Amino acid sequence: MTAVLYHAIALSDDSMKKYPFAGIFIYAGLILTCGVIPPTFFREAQNIMSPIASLVSDHTLHGLGFGVFAWLLCFGYYSAGYRKLPLIRIITISLAYGLFIEAVQIPLPYRVFEWTDIYADGAGVLAAVILFILVIRIRYIRNRPRPKEIA
């Protein structure tokens, strides 16, 4: 999903360097929109996908959603030229946005603030940050110059 989102936004590598955080702003808007829409809006989709929807819990969706959010932040910083990612900043921004979404839901009669959603957001954020670091390290190891073999 991350790659699809960035390919839809970025027309070239130059635009990715020029606007490395474009994807995160679009995705943040998507999360906010999904967070304030009444659950009845999704009722028809739930009827169509009920076998799949019954397998996925709300907390799983929170973890996946904020995992993608953190991944996009990592990717934005990496694309902007940060070779040492500001991990504390990425985790703080991701969790603060999750808390913001939950706070926005307080006055809505059809939504509920839940701390367990924040915990699920945090689990997704940590998993995504660790996965991103592993992918970057594996990529570095594969692309590093190798010593020439002695014949």
Instruction: Report d(CA 119, CA 149) in Å as an integer.
Output: 50
Residue 85 reports pLDDT greater than 80: yes
Q: Comparing 35-39, 71-75, 121-125, which segment has the lowest mean pLDDT?
A: 35-39
Q: How many domains is the chain built from?
A: 1
Neighbours of 131 (CB within 10 A): 14
Domain membership of residue 75 (yes or no) is yes
Residue 22 belongs to what domain range?
Answer: 2-143
* Residue of higher predicted confidence among 34 and 44: 34
Domain membership of residue 149 (yes or no) is no
Read off the pTM. Answer: 0.76
Domain membership of residue 112 (yes or no) is yes
- 3 state SS of 10: coil
Domain membership of residue 78 (yes or no) is yes
The tens digit of pLDDT for each residue in 99-147 reads: 999 999 999 998 889 999 999 999 999 999 999 999 988 887 777 776 6
Q: Which residue has the tokens 């809006």?
A: 41
Average per-residue pLDDT in the chain?
81
Domain membership of residue 151 (yes or no) is no
Quote the pLDDT of residue 118. 93
